[in-house]
Amino acid sequence: MLIRQYPIFTVLLILLLLNPMLASAFDHSQFDRLLVEHVAWTDEGHASVVDYASLQEDHRALVDYLDVLADVSRQEFDDWPEKEQLAFLINAYNAWTLELILTEYPDLESIRDLGSLFRSPWKREFVSLLGEERSLDNVEHDLIRGSDRYNDPRIHFAVNCASIGCPALRTEVYTANKLDRQLEGQTRRFLSDQSRNRLSGSELQVSSIFKWYREDFEAGWRGESSLTGFLSLYADSLSLNSAQIARLKADDIKVSFLDYDWVLNDSDR
């Protein structure tokens, strides 16, 4: 039998195409498996829920992944391409949020139950990452938003706060080679959810995320320097017609912000 010999470069290229994880500087496959097995899409794909009970039984695997995250040094991280860095930070944020929920599950109704009068759960320093003990706020606001490396407002639809009002937790990890497509998909998925973003009469009612992080959406993403300008980029996801789009671009539609639903995104509730 004739065995055909392929150059090693060709073999490696085939392997990379077959398994995108191999193309990454960091292997997120442990977390990917957890997301596939314990997260499910709901509401026709607009939202997702977590089976925290089954994840709790699989807790050792989550801890193992967090330990691997913690082993990455700041110098190693800084040597990665920016998309690799951002995918790493989003996955880390989401994984550590799941870990935070499991510290008290099932005895909580909301992630906010894990805070106190003097400190929110997002300020608890329990995240071992890049050589420091950090909080979730530090990961989001300093490492991601405050670094001036990424400047992508779509990250607000990727980091997950374990709540019904939050953009969906994906059933897969973020990876550098798919990051732009994943962030764009998350943005459109969230904006098309009329329970959280909708036109009501002459008023565009949107999630409070756009109020809390308004400056990010007005920072010039794709040339838009206003919130209505950013929203006009996704007018199709908001189901706006041509006349409504024109009014939105002319800043002639009132924008208001809906209350946020902090109930835990638990599949058992």
> Mind listing the pLDDT tens digit of every residue in the chain (269 residues)?
444 555 655 544 454 455 544 456 899 999 999 999 999 999 999 999 999 999 999 999 999 999 999 999 999 999 999 999 999 999 999 999 999 999 999 999 999 999 987 899 999 999 999 999 999 999 999 999 999 999 999 999 999 999 999 999 999 999 999 999 999 999 999 999 999 999 998 899 999 999 999 999 999 999 999 999 999 999 999 999 999 999 998 989 999 999 999 999 999 98
Domain containing 129 equals 25-257
For residue 150, give the nearest of 80, 207, 253, 102 by alpha carbon: 80
Specify the 3-state DSSP secondary structure of 132: strand
Q: Is residue 3 part of a domain?
A: no
Instruction: Indicate the DSSP class of residue 122.
Output: G
Q: Is residue 130 part of a domain?
A: yes
Distance, CA of 34 to chain centre: 16
How many whole angstroms separate alpha carbon 93 and alpha carbon 158? Answer: 10
How many whole angstroms separate alpha carbon 172 and alpha carbon 32? Answer: 5
Instruction: Indicate the DSSP class of residue 200.
Output: E
Q: Is residue 61 part of a domain?
A: yes
Q: Is residue 164 part of a domain?
A: yes
Q: Is residue 14 part of a domain?
A: no
> Given this model, what pLDDT does residue 4 score?
53
> Domain count of the chain?
1
Radius of gyration of the chain (CA): 20
How many whole angstroms separate alpha carbon 258 and alpha carbon 16? Answer: 43
Peptide bond between residue 106 and the one before it cis (omega within 30 degrees of 0): yes
Other beta carbons within 10 Å of 132: 12
Torsion angles phi and psi, residue 60, rounded to 5: -60, -40
Say whether pTM exceeds 0.85. Answer: yes
Specify the residue for token string 């995320």.
209
Q: Is residue 20 part of a domain?
A: no
Q: Is residue 8 part of a domain?
A: no
Would the CA dihedral through 150, 161, 193, 37 be positive or negative?
positive
Specify the 3-state DSSP secondary structure of 213: coil
Q: How far, in Å, are 33, 45, 144, 264 from residue 48 at the CA level?
A: 16, 7, 23, 11
N- to C-terminal Cα distance for the chain? 60
Q: Is residue 266 part of a domain?
A: no
Specify the 3-state DSSP secondary structure of 8: helix
Residue 215: strand pairing partners: none
Instruction: Indicate the DSSP class of residue 238.
Output: T
